[in-house]
Amino acid sequence: MTENKRQFRAIKGTRDILPPDSALWNWFEQTARNTFESYNFREIRLPIFEETELFARSVGADTDIVSKEMFTFNIGHDAESKEEPSQTYSLRPEATASVVRSYIEHRMQTFPGNLKLYYVGPMFRRERPQKGRYRQFYQIGAEVLGQSDAAAIDAEVIEMLMTFFKRADLTRTTLYINSIGDKNCRPQYVEKLREELRKVADRIGPDSQRRIETNPLRVLDSKLPEEQAIIGKLPRISDHLCDECREHFAKLKEELRLRGIAYEENWRLVRGLDYYTRTTFEVIAEGLGSQNAVCGGGRYDGLVELLGGPPTKGIGFAIGTDRAILSLQESGKLPSLPALAVFVAWMGQAAYLTAVNIAQKLREAGLAVELPPEEMKFKRSLALADKLGARYALIIGEDEVNSGTFTLKRLADSDQKKLSKFDLLEYLESERRDTRA
Ligand code: AMP
């Protein structure tokens, strides 16, 4: 038998997030958690796969996501199992459907006040991979579910989102908002749009032509240069909103102004998913080329009912973490993240004991410490400490053990100090506080 030496690689559209990037990801997600928790949102952890039908019903069977992009499978027939052999499951392409499914399943309408939840995790869509577009990508999202549809909720959600971006230093962004009406006014508008589109059907591309019948709002999303002039002349939803929707949108803008949130209106912002009503919003960021949307969101007042739950209002957003991180990296404004603080360079058995002990103490004090598992000459130790990017090398040899003092070398400028164990801990702890501040 010949040995199969095929090397495995990550599947197209998936990727590994390696250090040091993983530290940036963790920091970004932690900044989101801290920000969202300061607005009293709490985390919900959801399954990665659900019944295909859940997504078909909520996201919409005619959307690209459901009709073309889901990873769907069935578990197959198992005589022992009571599961339907024909039951199909899909990797989640987004998480709002799961949040709503969970809301209904756990009767969260009985929880006090508005339910404010956030989630963090991977999503899956079989899209054509390119920069900023992956088949496994990551989202950070938040949802508010409850009885109220006050515009202040929409505004608070948007404020929280923009506050998070500010804290993460993702500042070269633009927030776009729109209202796409509700079940009272949108159907008439969609019909009007369809009529107008039929008149120009021979001048638009095949995708838009198809959407005239399936989902005319999506034509407004088109990026094709030759369609732009035609789309520019189509009827605008803002001229067709009912009084309630018009008022809600006006109130939202007032609320955003009083919270000091800059925005632009974009009447073509309809979003790809079927379940949106009234408020829709999107944030775009610089440095990303064509895939420049870093967050999409909106109100979905009918979704809970559509999935068999009680009448409930809802609003939420999803941030594309991959793209947000790409934009941060392009801007060069990266945070200085805690790196290796101390490399313990030891030589000799007596020094080793001291080294193990001091490494424990430093780690307890919250410092990142590298303790070489095997003895090395000081020259090699110091060279490795340098390559690993350690801030300090702590030198422990026979002299240090005998005198009970340690030599601490700052690698950036080779500044060297002799310190007692007590002073060493004190010094490194205060230094850690300063670098974190
Ligand atoms: P959506 O759920 O389609 O509203 O998307 C919300 C955000 O998720 C977008 O603004 C993107 O930042 C991100 N996103 C969506 N699809 C992908 C993908 N295939 N790869 C990377 N990010 C994505």
DSSP conformation letters of 33-97: HHHHHHTT-EE----SEEEHHHHHHHH-TTSHHHHHS--EEE----TT--S-TT-EEEE-S-SHH
Residue 249 binned pLDDT confidence (cut-offs 50, 70, 90):
very high
Distance CA 221, CA 292 (A): 14
| pLDDT digit string, tens, across residues 137-176 | 999 999 999 999 999 999 999 999 999 999 999 999 999 9
Cβ of 295 less than 6 Å from ligand 1: yes
Res. 437: pLDDT tops 50: no
Ligand 1 nearest atom to the CA of residue 129, by list position: 19
Q: What is the mean pLDDT of residues 317-325?
A: 97
Residue 125 CA to ligand 1 centre (angstroms)? 9
Counting ligand 1 atoms within 8 A of each CB, the residue from 69, 127, 133, 286 with the most, and so the one to mutate, is: 133
User: What whole-number percentage of the chain has pLDDT above 90?
Assistant: 81
> 216: burial class by Cβ within 10 Å (0-12, 13-18, 19+)?
buried
Domains and CATH numbers, the chain: 21-185+241-331 (3.30.930.10), 342-436 (3.40.50.800)
DSSP conformation letters of 89-138: EEE-S-SHHHHHHHHHHTTGGGSSS-EEEEEEEEEE--PPPBTTB-SEEE
Q: What are phi and psi of 231, to 5 degrees?
A: -65, -35
Residue 79, pLDDT score: 63
Q: How many CA atoms lie within 13 A of 181 on its CB side?
A: 19
Residue 320 CA to ligand 1 centre (angstroms)? 5
Closest CA to 226 of 207, 199, 198: 207
Cβ of 137 less than 6 Å from ligand 1: yes
Question: Measured in Å, how far apart are the chain's first and last C-alpha atoms?
Answer: 61
Residue 103 binned pLDDT confidence (cut-offs 50, 70, 90):
very high
Do 187 and 237 meet the contact criterion of CB atoms below 8 Å apart? no
Residue 352 CA to ligand 1 centre (angstroms)? 51
Cβ of 134 less than 6 Å from ligand 1: yes
Cβ of 294 less than 6 Å from ligand 1: yes
Ligand 1 nearest atom to the CA of residue 297, by list position: 4
How many of the other CB atoms lie within 10 Å of CB of 173? 19
Q: What is the mean pLDDT of residues 75-95?
A: 79
| Ligand 1, atom 18, residue with closest C-alpha | 133
- Least reliable range by pLDDT among 156-170, 322-336, 380-394: 322-336
| pLDDT digit string, tens, across residues 250-274 | 999 999 999 999 999 999 998 766 6
Helix axes 52-59, 96-105, angle to 10 degrees: 110
